[in-house]
């Protein structure tokens, strides 16, 4: 098994039981992420006018968050509503503890210490730390609510060791031991995330176990001997993390030119998961001498967050629940804003890899006030910000990037803040490398639980979302029929006989059917004026459907604000075929242009053109439960082109758009098809006086 190469090397080279690094600092506290020397530096830095960045982080992020926690206090215990209630409200209780502990260490203000103890006491008093999940009911204390609180107690114990009353400190110690053993029991195989090496739940829970083990390591146990590695928590966490690393960035010959740093779980879960993974890597390196930073995936992953951001002018006023709420490309289970950060993650990546673009983007995000830190980990900005990294402006980056392992492509017309942005998705659910392992090679559990069946889908932004992703849905209904949370009907792609691409969700473990999936971004040609992309999504559908070809040819004419889609579809027998598009605003027929639909508001006009009058086109809404607004019902505008029964279909769709901010704005271009013969591979279009010729057999697109 290929990932075992990296794991074997790690286990061979690293004497876990010797742990020379931690042996040198025992029995000193603090030691998790921050030492006394670092606290002394930060205490001076937040009061030093020559360190304005640290002052700003303290005054605008950490101190307000700590003061709010002091004022409000911890929430009272609320019993689980069912055996599947994850009790995620408890995550905020765990997150509060490091904020308050940091505030106390930097100021000596007794109110912060008292509040830190209050939150710790409340947490320790909660009867249940998360009751379970939909697929794993009654697994109390074995998931995210437990991980956040266990980590919080570890920080309280370690950072405030000398300031806590001895009896209270002993209580924290015992709670770490007791609750950690429960979480560890889940990690050994009973929790849903135990084999999910590419899922955020495992990363978060294992980070909590590692931190908790090392917080109490070597200290006098109130009821017995000092804790060492005999707990086994840190060993299992390191083995799991090594497995994760080998799947993201395998050692030895690689089947890909680069390991690209992209995430299958979406930008929001990238922010959430990477926060914990980076904490894990810091603790592992600092205290155990195990360094996971020598990774191409981690070196490149800042690009994923940067390129999956929307144009900067769309950020204005963006925050949860505040319009326009448009800061990220919300592919997979993701809101239109991030979940956490991304400033502290990017500061850390900037520091580790001397990445000035990561530093510059983090500062830009902070200045635009689009960071999401109040209930997260703003204290990590103090820990990870490095003033020695020279910030670079992202406008110096290329406008386009291909994430080859994940089959994703992103391009924008420029970095001005007003640019148009295209994102195209044509890769397998867990990336090409994982697919190359083959069924049975790896147990991946529910690693793809947040992935959508969206091969050959895309999204488009220009002044606002024009063609949208569905986002984070809990389900939907159409004509009285209940739809699952993840289905291709929500995506901008093909359905066959109304069915979705193979679903790789938390309902099913990643197994034989999923390992057969290998949609591929086969062609990427990009230039200043034109991008030509081809996605092959044939294998994304069940074998029983009989689909033998689904190639989507997408031509992005960047300066003209035009996209041409040519879908080349073939089946072994005739079936009903639906090509769905989801405009942000419901599309209505244009009375002046045949086979043309308009999606219009005060910000932009989108024109959608079809070219075959025999194809039925319908505009309607799917009612969806949107996770980003608490599961409320919202319409998902849909425009479907339907062939009632066909074994072969070559279909052309044109999209054109323009800003609609003033009455003098130009209308979107009307695309004219000037040449195509039945079953011919060649199309020619007149686009604003220029001719675009596309040959789908030769895979060429020429604009003259």
pLDDT digits over 338-389, tens only?
899 999 999 999 999 999 999 999 999 999 988 886 568 999 999 999 999 9
Q: Where are the domains of the chain?
A: 3-396, 401-672
What is the tens place of the pLDDT at every residue in 391-418? 999 999 999 999 999 999 999 999 999 9
The whole-number average pLDDT for the span 435-439 is: 74
pLDDT of 323 higher than 70: no
Axis-axis angle for helices 144-159, 200-216 (nearest 10) = 30
Compute the distance between CA of residue 273 and CA of residue 300 in angstroms, rounded to an integer: 16
pLDDT for residue 347:
98
- Mean pLDDT score of the chain: 89
pLDDT for residue 318:
47
Q: Contact 658/561 with Cβ under 8 angstroms?
A: yes
What is the tens place of the pLDDT at every residue in 571-627? 999 999 999 999 999 999 999 999 999 999 988 999 999 999 999 999 999 999 998
Angle made by CA atoms 686, 692, 697, in degrees to the nearest 5: 130
Q: Contact 376/91 with Cβ under 8 angstroms?
A: no
Class of residue 646 by CB neighbours under 10 A (exposed 0-12, middle 13-18, buried 19+) = middle
Alpha helices in 472-592 (DSSP H): 512-516
Token pair belonging to 417: 């803040």
pLDDT of 16 higher than 60: no
pLDDT of 320 higher than 90: no
What is the tens place of the pLDDT at every residue in 631-685? 789 999 999 999 999 999 999 999 999 987 655 557 899 999 999 888 889 999 9
Share of the chain above pLDDT 70, in %: 88
**Cα–Cα distance list, 109 to 102, 104, 597, 691 (Å):** 11, 6, 63, 71
pLDDT for residue 136:
64
Residue among 515, 487, 490, 511 at smallest CA distance from 501: 487
pLDDT for residue 631:
78
pLDDT band at 244 (very low <50, low <70, confident <90, very high): very high
Residue among 428, 423, 384 at smallest CA distance from 264: 428
Axis-axis angle for helices 166-185, 233-248 (nearest 10) = 50
Residue that wins the pLDDT comparison between 307 and 319: 307
Residue 563 CB neighbours (<10 A): 23
Which residues, including other chains, have CB under 8 Å from residue 522's CB and lie 6 or more apart?
A: 426, 534, 535, 536, 551
pLDDT for residue 679:
80
pLDDT of 321 higher than 60: no
Compute the distance between CA of residue 236 and CA of residue 55 in angstroms, rounded to an integer: 39
* Strand, helix or coil for residue 527: coil
pLDDT for residue 615:
96
What burial letters (b/e) apply to 533-561, b meaning 16+ CB within 10 Å?
bbbbbbbbbbeebbbeebbbbbbbbbebb
- Give me the CATH topology for the region 3-396: Glycosyltransferase (1.50.10)
Axis-axis angle for helices 267-283, 200-216 (nearest 10) = 20
pLDDT for residue 13:
37
pLDDT for residue 624:
96
Residue 266 CB neighbours (<10 A): 26
pLDDT of 322 higher than 90: no
For tokens 């769309």, name the residue: 314
Terminal Cα distance for the chain, rounded: 51
pLDDT for residue 473:
94
401-672 CATH choice from 3.40.50.1000, 3.40.640.10, 2.70.98.70, 2.40.160.20: 2.70.98.70
Compute the distance between CA of residue 126 and CA of residue 178 in angstroms, rounded to an integer: 13
The whole-number average pLDDT for the span 149-169 is: 97
pLDDT band at 12 (very low <50, low <70, confident <90, very high): very low
pLDDT band at 629 (very low <50, low <70, confident <90, very high): confident
* Strand, helix or coil for residue 589: strand
400-403 LR contacts (CB < 8 Å, sep 24+): 400/526, 400/531, 401/303, 401/307, 402/260, 402/521, 402/524, 403/260, 403/261, 403/262, 403/304, 403/427
What is the tens place of the pLDDT at every residue in 48-61? 999 999 999 999 99
The whole-number average pLDDT for the span 210-215 is: 95
pLDDT for residue 618:
97
What is the tens place of the pLDDT at every residue in 174-200? 999 999 999 999 999 778 888 889 999
pLDDT of 227 higher than 70: no
Compute the distance between CA of residue 459 and CA of residue 453 in angstroms, rounded to an integer: 14
Which residues, including other chains, have CB under 8 Å from residue 151's CB and lie 6 or more apart?
A: 94, 98, 207, 208, 211, 212
pLDDT for residue 230:
58
What is the tens place of the pLDDT at every residue in 284-299? 999 999 999 999 899 9
- Strands (DSSP E) found in 537-615: 547-557, 562-581, 588-589, 596-600, 604-610
Which residues, including other chains, have CB under 8 Å from residue 152's CB and lie 6 or more apart?
A: 93, 94, 95, 96, 97, 98, 119, 120, 123
* Strand, helix or coil for residue 22: helix
Token pair belonging to 481: 């029929």
Token pair belonging to 672: 């004219």
pLDDT band at 441 (very low <50, low <70, confident <90, very high): very low
Q: Contact 703/690 with Cβ under 8 angstroms?
A: yes
Domains 3-396 and 401-672 share a fold: no
Which residues, including other chains, have CB under 8 Å from residue 493's CB and lie 6 or more apart?
A: 454, 455, 456, 457, 501, 537, 552, 579, 580
Token pair belonging to 539: 């294998």
The whole-number average pLDDT for the span 317-324 is: 46
Share of the chain above pLDDT 90, in %: 75
Class of residue 440 by CB neighbours under 10 A (exposed 0-12, middle 13-18, buried 19+) = exposed
pLDDT for residue 628:
79
Token pair belonging to 544: 């029983």
């Amino acid at each position: 098994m290929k990932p075992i190469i990296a794991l074997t090397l790690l286990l061979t080279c690293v004497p876990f039981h010797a742990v020379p690094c931690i042996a040198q600092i025992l029995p000193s506290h603090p030691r998790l992420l921050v030492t006394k020397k670092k606290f002394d530096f930060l205490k001076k830095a937040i009061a030093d006018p020559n360190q304005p960045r640290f002052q700003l982080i303290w005054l605008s992020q950490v101190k307000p968050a700590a003061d709010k926690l002091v004022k409000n206090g911890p929430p009272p215990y609320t019993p689980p509503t069912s055996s599947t209630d994850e009790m995620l409200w408890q995550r905020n209780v765990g997150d509060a503890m490091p904020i308050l502990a940091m505030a106390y260490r930097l100021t000596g203000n007794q109110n912060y210490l008292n509040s830190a103890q209050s939150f710790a006491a409340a947490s320790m008093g909660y009867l249940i730390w998360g009751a379970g999940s939909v697929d794993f009911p009654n697994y109390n204390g074995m998931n995210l609510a437990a991980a956040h609180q266990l980590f919080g107690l570890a920080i309280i114990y370690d950072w405030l060791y000398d300031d806590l009353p001895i009896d209270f400190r002993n209580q924290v110690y015992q709670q770490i031991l007791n609750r950690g053993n429960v979480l560890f029991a889940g990690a050994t195989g009973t929790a849903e995330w135990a084999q999910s090496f590419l899922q955020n739940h495992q990363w978060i829970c294992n980070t909590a176990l590692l931190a908790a083990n090392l917080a109490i390591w070597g200290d006098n146990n109130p009821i017995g001997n000092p804790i060492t590695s005999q707990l086994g928590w840190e060993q299992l966490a390191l083995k799991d993390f090594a497995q994760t690393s080998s799947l993201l960035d395998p050692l030895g010959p690689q089947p890909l030119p680069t390991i690209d740093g992209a995430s299958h779980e979406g930008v929001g879960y990238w922010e959430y998961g990477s926060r914990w993974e980076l904490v894990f890597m810091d603790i592992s390196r600092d205290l155990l001498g195990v360094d996971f930073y020598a990774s191409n995936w981690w070196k490149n992953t800042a690009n994923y967050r940067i390129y999956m951001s929307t144009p900067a002018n769309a950020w204005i006023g963006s925050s949860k629940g505040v319009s326009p709420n448009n800061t990220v490309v919300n592919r997979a289970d993701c809101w239109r804003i991030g979940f956490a950060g991304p400033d502290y993650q990017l500061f850390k990546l900037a520091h580790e890899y001397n990445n000035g673009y990561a530093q510059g983007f983090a500062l830009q995000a902070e200045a635009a006030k689009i960071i999401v830190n109040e209930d997260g980990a703003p204290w990590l900005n103090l820990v990870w910000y490095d003033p020695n990294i020279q910030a670079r402006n992202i406008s110096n980056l290329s406008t386009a990037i291909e994430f080859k392992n994940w089959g994703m492509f992103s391009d924008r017309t420029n970095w001005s803040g007003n640019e148009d942005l295209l994102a195209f998705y044509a890769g397998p659910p867990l990336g090409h490398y994982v697919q190359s392992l083959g069924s049975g090679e790896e147990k991946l559990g529910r690693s793809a639980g947040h992935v959508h069946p969206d091969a050959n889908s895309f999204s488009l932004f220009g002044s606002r979302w024009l063609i949208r992703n569905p986002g984070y849905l809990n389900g939907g209904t159409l004509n009285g029929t209940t739809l699952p949370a993840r289905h291709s009907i929500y995506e901008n792609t093909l359905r066959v006989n109304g069915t979705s691409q193979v679903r790789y969700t938390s309902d099913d473990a990643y197994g034989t059917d999923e390992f057969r999936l290998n949609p591929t971004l086969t062609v990427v040609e990009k230039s200043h004026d034109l991008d030509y992309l081809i996605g092959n999504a044939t294998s994304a559908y069940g074998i029983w459907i009989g689909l033998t070809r689904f190639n989507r040819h997408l031509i992005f004419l960047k300066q003209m604000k035009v996209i041409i889609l040519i879908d080349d579809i073939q089946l072994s027998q005739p079936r009903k075929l639906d090509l769905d598009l989801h405009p942000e605003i419901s599309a209505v027929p244009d009375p002046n242009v045949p086979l043309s639909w308009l999606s219009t508001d005060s910000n932009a006009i989108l024109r959608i053109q079809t070219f075959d009058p025999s194809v039925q086109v319908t505009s309607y809404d799917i009612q969806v439960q949107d996770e980003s607004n608490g599961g409320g019902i919202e319409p998902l505008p849909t425009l479907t082109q339907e062939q009632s029964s066909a074994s072969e279909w070559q279909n052309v769709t044109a999209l054109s758009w323009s800003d609609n901010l003033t009455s003098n704005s130009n209308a979107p271009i009307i695309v004219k098809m000037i040449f195509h013969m039945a079953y011919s591979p060649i199309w020619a279009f007149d686009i604003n006086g220029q001719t675009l010729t596309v040959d789908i057999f030769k895979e060429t697109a020429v604009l003259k």
